[in-house]
């Protein structure tokens, strides 16, 4: 099973690739709405990408108030 740090790294790689931003410009504690310049619709796209990648189901109400990659990784890690 992934460690939290591995999960964070995979999320950052996926987010950078999906939203076409340089990987080195995003960090675990960044606000993904601001760093990726995305709205809630695109955040939902990211959620779908992550669910497909990690083979987990993450209800969107669990993400209420979550805006940084590290907390997001914790939510995913809890379902791996």
Partner 1 sequence: MTESASACDGSIMSWTMADGVIELALHCAPCNELGSASLEALETFVTALEKMQADAHSLLIYSEMKPGFCAGADLRELQRRSQALGKVEAVRGVRDFLERIHRVFNIIDAAPLTTIAAVHGVTFGGGFELALTCDLIIADKMARFCFPELRLGLIPGFGGIPRLKRDLGNGVVRDLLLTGRSFNATKAQQIGLVSQVVGEGEALRAARSTAAQLKKFDHATAMAAKRFIKPIPHEDLRREIDLFCELFLSPAVDEALRKFVESADALPYLP
Strand, helix or coil for residue 13 = helix
Residue closer to partner 1, measured from CB, 23 or 53:
53
Matching residue, tokens 């964070």: 8
Does 57 contact partner 1 by CB under 8 A?
A: yes
Q: What string marks each residue from 14 to 43 as x (binds partner 1 by CB under 8 A) or -?
A: -------------------------xxxxx
Q: Distance of CA 3 to CAs 9, 15, 18, 48, Å?
A: 10, 18, 22, 21
Rg of the chain over all Cα atoms, to the nearest angstrom: 11
CB of 51 to partner 1, least distance (A): 5
* Residues at the interface with partner 1 (CB under 8 A): 39-45, 48-49, 51-52, 57, 59-61, 63-64
């Amino acid at each position: 099973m992934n460690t939290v740090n591995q999960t964070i790294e995979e999320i950052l790689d996926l987010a950078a690739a999906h939203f076409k931003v340089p990987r080195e410009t995003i960090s675990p504690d960044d606000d993904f709405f601001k760093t990726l310049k995305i709205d809630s619709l695109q955040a939902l796209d990211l959620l779908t990408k992550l669910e497909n990648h990690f083979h987990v189901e993450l209800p969107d109400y669990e993400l209420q108030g979550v805006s940084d990659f590290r907390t997001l990784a914790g939510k995913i890690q809890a379902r791996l």
